[in-house]
Amino acid sequence: METQVQKPRRERPKPVKLTDAAAARITEIMAGADGKYTGVRVGVTNGGCAGMSYTMDYASEAKPFEEVMEDKGVKIFIDPKAILFLIGTELDFVQEKLGARFMFNNPNQTSACGCGESVQITPASS
């Protein structure tokens, strides 16, 4: 009788990854937040001169059909309508001379407006 060896289960690729700086800043913000939040919700919305804008908000629980993942100790909730637009995105936190901000480094982004507030994104091919 042959013994079947089970292959280790390969982890599914994460649709969104955090840099160390983004994970540290989100953890810091969450620690000081009023409310019982368990993570951050990311997505995209229609609007702006280039067509779409990224969204970030506190999340306390998953909404129906949301993708829930964890990276570097941070729970990320992804709007189901945004998942194809965000696959492969790296979320970073950058500090500059005159301010600091979260930045979406998205391989699906094809252009951005001059103000930097809105982008044009092509859905990832599955």
Tell me, yes or no, whether 70 lies in a domain: yes
Note if the pTM is more than 0.95.
Answer: no
Confidence of residue 66 (pLDDT cuts 50, 70, 90): very high
* pLDDT of 7 higher than 80: no
CATH of the domain at 44: 2.60.300.12
Q: What is the mean pLDDT of residues 80-98?
A: 91
Domain encompassing residue 115: 16-29+37-121
Give the pLDDT of residue 112.
Answer: 75
Cα 85 from Cα 87, distance rounded (Å): 6
* Residue 6 in domain: no
Q: Is beta strand 39-46 parallel, antiparallel or unpaired with respect to 89-96?
A: unpaired
Number of independent structural domains in the chain: 1
Is residue 107 situated within a structural domain?
yes
Rounded Cα distance, 84 and 78, in Å: 10
Residue with tokens 């013994």: 3
* 65 pLDDT more than 60: yes
Measure the CA–CA gap between 118 and 114, rounded to whole angstroms. 9
